[in-house]
A and B are shown apart, each in its own frame.
Chain A
Amino acid sequence: MRSYVPGYELLAPRNFADALDRMAGQPGEWKPFAGGTDLMVLLEAGKLPHRKFLSLWKLPELRGIAVTPEHVKLNALTTYTEIRRHEVLRREFPMLCQAAAETGSIATQNRGTLGGNIANASPAADSPPALLVYDAELGLVSTAGARWVPYHGFWMGYKQIDLRSGELIRAIRLPRNQSFSKHYYRKVGTRKAQAISKVCFAGAARTDGGRITDVRISLGSVAPTVLRAVETEKILRGERPAPPVLQAAQQALAREIAPIDDIRSTARYRLRVAQNLLAEFCESLTS
């Protein structure tokens, strides 16, 4: 343990209103703390400069999954285990469940939360590609009020999201009835379990007589943020996924992503794999 633990304060707010009041108080005085699976690792490594945290873990307002005809709404402290076990999510949003199953280990899944994952904003996170493909919206709340924002566009840069001062992520909302005929999610990591992704690809499409009528593609670990490959999507939309179209799409993809060399992998590998996964996705649309 590299940090001076007595110097840290983790406080349980009295209730949800108290949590928001404290968040609004001295700006930046308190930072939210959910399941701790990211923050405790930083604490251990001596890399957690902030000292005062608000424990959201027990707030009932942040727990639970609600299903309405239009949406599935996951409150921010929904764990990966809860996602994996939810029947409607398994049926209608399988990529989110697959991402949850490939996040860390079972012990991590029991404590890691979707809201915490989004707030941590790591480009290597496993769920955001699925969320972006499913056109997720984020419910944000502060003492100043509440708003819904599209997740796409919310991620400004490396580990930076567009949260206003005092705001908390309250929920994640997924629109139902998108009628995708294909959901394709593939995470390429360092090993088969407990792996940080080197490339993560999520794609969903609607096809009609072999033609792609709509397609959404999102990738992780190939840019400072998880991104929607909108230019690549444009190339594929309305087309049959035949070789010339695929090649054009792969070239567009190469221009849209910005993979780097780091201690886990290389830019060259990430680019090649991203393009190969795009090909595998497109091939799956014809079968």
Chain B
Amino acid sequence: MSEAARKIRVQCEINGKAVSLETHSMARLLDVLREQAGLTGTKEGCGEGECGACSIEMDGALVNSCLIPALQADGAKIRTIEGVADADVLSALQKSFLGHGGAQCGICTPGMILAARNLLSRNAQPTENEVREALSGNLCRCTGYTKIFESVLEACRTQRAHP
């Protein structure tokens, strides 16, 4: 059996709060978030970067946290689903997912909302095709995606009407 390597210290900002953790250098950021930071909103669906259920925002970029080794999260600014709402106030995306059937079983929803949010931060008024492409790394087995597209586009309409 392999010997254990020394643990490392990872310091980063998660949802606006400074966090300092001790962990293994190649531990998955997904596990660090869920088990050490207590943020279980980010989910594991496949462990191979294919389903997007583990999507988070790291330094402004959408990434699959199951593929990020803890060492490389040191110094990063991370946003998870827990950091999307503003305290109790849901974001426009969250509200429209609620109102338009964008979530069914909900397991893909955190990753999906992060991906949609990331899209809207770069392109506030995407076409439906742009939404499809932006979400193509997030698999949903329940909705057939239709109401996810509708939810995202509705959130854009709301933002356009009330910026």
Residues of A within 8 A of B (CB): 1, 4-12, 33, 36-37, 40-41, 43-45, 51, 53, 55, 57-58, 81, 104-108, 110-111, 192-194
Q: Would you call B137 and A106 a contact (CB within 8 A)?
A: yes
Instruction: Contact check, B49 vs A104: say whether CB atoms are below 8 A apart.
Output: yes
Enumerate B95-118 residues with CB–CB distance to A below 8 Å.
115, 118
Q: List 24 A-B contacts (CB under 8 A).
A: A4-B1, A5-B26, A5-B27, A7-B1, A7-B2, A7-B4, A8-B24, A9-B25, A11-B25, A11-B71, A36-B72, A37-B49, A43-B26, A45-B48, A104-B137, A105-B137, A106-B134, A106-B136, A107-B49, A107-B62, A107-B63, A107-B115, A108-B67, A108-B137
The answer for the CA separation of A17 and B138 in the assembled complex, in Å, is: 39
Interface residues of B in 138-155 (CB under 8 A from A): 138
- Chain B residues near A81: list those with CB within 8 A: 61
Residues of B within 8 A of A107 (CB): 49, 52, 55, 62-64, 115, 137
How far does the Cβ of B120 sit from chain A's closest Cβ, in whole Å?
A: 13
Check A108–B49 contact: CB distance below 8 A: yes
Asked if residues A6 and B48 are in contact (CB atoms below 8 Å), the reply is no
Once A104-B137, A106-B134 are accepted as A-B contacts, the answer to whether A111 and B67 lie under 8 Å apart by CB is yes
Interface of A is mostly: mixed
Q: Check B2 against A4 for contact (C-beta < 8 Å).
A: yes
Q: Which residues of B contact A (CB under 8 A)?
A: 1-6, 24-28, 31, 47-50, 52, 55, 61-64, 66-69, 71-72, 74, 115, 118, 133-134, 136-138
Contact A193:B133 (CB < 8 A) given known A41-B48, A110-B61 = yes
Chain A residues, Cβ within 8 Å of B25:
8-11
Known: A5-B27, A36-B68. A105 touches B2 (CB 8 A): no
Please state if B5 and A9 are interface contacts (CB–CB under 8 Å): yes
| Complexed CA–CA distance, A1 and B61 (Å) | 24
Closest Cβ–Cβ distance, residue A174 to chain B (whole Å)? 24
Report whether A6 and B62 are in contact in the complex, using a CB–CB cutoff of 8 Å.
no
With a CB–CB cut-off of 8 A, which chain B residues contact A108?
49, 64, 67, 137
